[in-house]
Structure 1
Amino acid sequence: MSLPVLGGIIPQQFIIANNELLTALVLLALVAIIGIAVSTLFGGKKNVKNTILITGLPFAGKTVIYYQISSSKTVETVTSIQENEAEVALIEGKSSIHIVDIPGHERLRFKFSEFMPIARAIVFVVDSATVSRQSRLLAEYLYDILSNKFTLDEKIPILIACNKSDLLTAFRKDRIQSLLETEINKLRHTRTAALDTQDSDGSENVYLGFEGKDFSFQDLENDVEFIECSAENKDIDSIKDWMAAVVL
């Protein structure tokens, strides 16, 4: 490449007089620097998936769990009107993770979809003492999460945290799983009326599980695990252990 041609590609101050080789090397160095800068600025963020979402209906105890994990504090909470976010190091010496507490109010819980592109895992908190009365609402919310395109494409693992398991009226995790599977089985027939369409929040009208077979969480491609816990008694180590396992 001649000097006149190079002069039309790079600024005149970078052209070294009578030395085409050095001028070409300067050009290559500039291209490399720009490439590294662009990759660092955009590429790094695109691939980061270290966010764990904590979701659930109001009064399930998810915000209490969030604060116990993020600050080791037990706080009195009310229904959240906006998400809570924190960086938490679950294991000493390891990188911190980003946890987000999603509001449980009916008009705000859709906000989980805004964080799905960076979600690594989801903790879905259930009130074990009221699950029988809320099974339909729980199943509808959980269906939205399970049918989200990021959940499906990335096979995002989900933990069903059965909170308040210490109460006498609490259902055991096996019973809660059975209730949710029954309700989701009913929902499949109404949610799949328009297959292969996608809503604005990223949820797809897919058929969860296998046709001709009752719905089971075991039939999903992403892992769904149930654990019992009690935020009131600070018995949430199983949640923290699960979080640490899925991000490491």
Structure 2
Amino acid sequence: MSTSTLRSLIPDSLIIANNEYYTLLALLALLTLVGLAATFAFGAKKSSKNTILITGLPFAGKTVIHYLINHNRSVETITSIKENEANVVLTEGKSSVHIVDIPGHERLRFKFSEFMPIARAVVFVVDSATVARQTRLLAEYLYDILSNKHAQEERLPVLIACNKSDLITAFKKDRIQSLLEAEINKLRQTRTAALDTQDSEGNENVFLGFEGKDFAFQDLENEVDFIECSAEIKNVEDIKDWIAAVSS
């Protein structure tokens, strides 16, 4: 780009004594200010998304985990009919994190989409002891979350929290990952025909992973992690650490 072209991009008020050298410096300063403003705006937008969603099927232990994280105590729970919300400081000196426990009932679980525009990350709770019987339902729910337009655009990190890992009948996280990947792989085929449609919940029927390759979480642009935990014995520290890390 010639100096004369650069000069044409600068308001007359910034052209200093018709000096090309100073004019170039003025342009560079202007571009720097624009870059800083854009960076600040992006950072402000990201920091405003401080909501962590806790999702999953009924009886997975979502609400107990929610209370352990927010109040460091467990409670007897029933199937939630309304989301539970709380603000909690996980790291001393850091801002509080807004945590929302989404009801798992089939008529209410879609409400996760209402919070996705302000979500920073998603914790998807799985009952490790019953996962083999619920794999299809889990895969469908997880597919809806991963294909949500906000999850796609923001590349929201997702934690698969394998709860009740203390039970003798519990599956290990690697086995749970394999079950979910195999089921999502089959589920993709039934949704491929609707790739260009968008439902009322704001979810796009996108194709997760790579075509021609079996589905694997590692192929997603979203970072997906698996951890084992147990709300029953108050072992949720790994969840708290993960939330603190993605919220910083």
TM-score (norm 1): 0.81
Counterpart for residue 160 of structure 1: 160
Q: Is 2:191 aligned against 1:170?
A: no
State the 4+ residue runs in structure 1 displaced beyond 6 angstroms.
44-47
- Rounded to whole Å, the distance in 1 between the matches of 2:214 and 2:152 is 19
Distance 2:194 2:96 in 1: 41
Letter in 2 for 1:108: L
Kindly report which structure 2 residues correspond to 1:37-52, keeping only aligned pairs within 5 A, or say none: 48-52=48-52
Alignment-derived partner of residue 60 in structure 2? 60
Q: Structure 2 CA distance, aligned partners of 1:158 and 1:194? A: 24
Match of 1:187 in 2: 187
Give the residue type in structure 1 aligned to 2:157. Answer: P
> Which residues of structure 2 form unaligned runs of 5+?
1-43
The corresponding residue for 2:223 is 223
How far apart are the structure 2 equivalents of 1:171 and 1:195? 33
Matches within 5 A, 1:44-123: 48-123=48-123
Q: How many residue pairs end up in the alignment?
A: 205
| Partner residue in 2 for 1:199 | 199
Give the secondary-structure state (helix, strand or coil) at the position aligned to 2:64: helix
Residue identity opposite 2:189 in structure 1: H
Unpaired runs of 5+ residues, structure 1, are 1-43
Q: Partner of 1:8 in structure 2?
A: none
Deviation at 1:112, TM superposition (A): 0.1
Q: Give the CA RMSD over aligned residues.
A: 1.2
Q: What code does the residue aligned with 1:174 have? A: D
Please give the alpha-carbon distance, in whole angstroms, between the structure 2 residues aligned to 1:98 and 1:173: 27
In 2, the alpha carbon distance for the partners of 1:201 and 1:226 equals 26
Give 1:98's aligned amino acid.
H
Task: Determine helix, strand or coil for the equivalent of 1:193.
Answer: helix
* 2:147 alignment partner in structure 1: 147
Bigger CA radius of gyration: 1
Q: Distance in 2 between matches of 1:97 and 1:150?
A: 19
Question: Aligned equivalents of 2:205 and 2:192: distance in 1?
Answer: 5
State the secondary structure of the residue aligned to 2:123: strand
- Partner Cα distance (2:196, 2:221) in 1: 18
One-letter code of the match for 2:184? I
Helix, strand or coil: the match of 2:122?
strand
Amino acid at match of 2:88: V
2: CA distance between counterparts of 1:49 and 1:143? 22
State the one-letter code of the partner of 1:166: D
Q: CA deviation at 1:47?
A: 6.4
The one-letter code matched in structure 2 to 1:202 is: G
Task: Give how far 1:45 is off.
Answer: 8.0
Paired residue for 1:31?
A: none
Change (3 A) 1:187 1:89: same
Partner residue, 1:7: none
Query: Relative to 1, partners in 2 of residues 1:197 and 1:86: Cα closer, same or farther, differing over 3 Å?
Result: same
Tell me which residue corresponds to 2:246: 246
Relative distance call for 1:88 and 1:47 in structure 2 (3 A) is: closer
Cα displacement string for residues 70-98 of structure 1 (whole angstroms, at most 9, x for unaligned residues) = 11111000000000000000012211010
Identity of aligned residues (%): 79
Q: CA separation in 2, counterparts of 1:134 and 1:47?
A: 35
Aligned-residue offset at 1:48: 1.1
3-state SS, counterpart of residue 193 of structure 2: coil
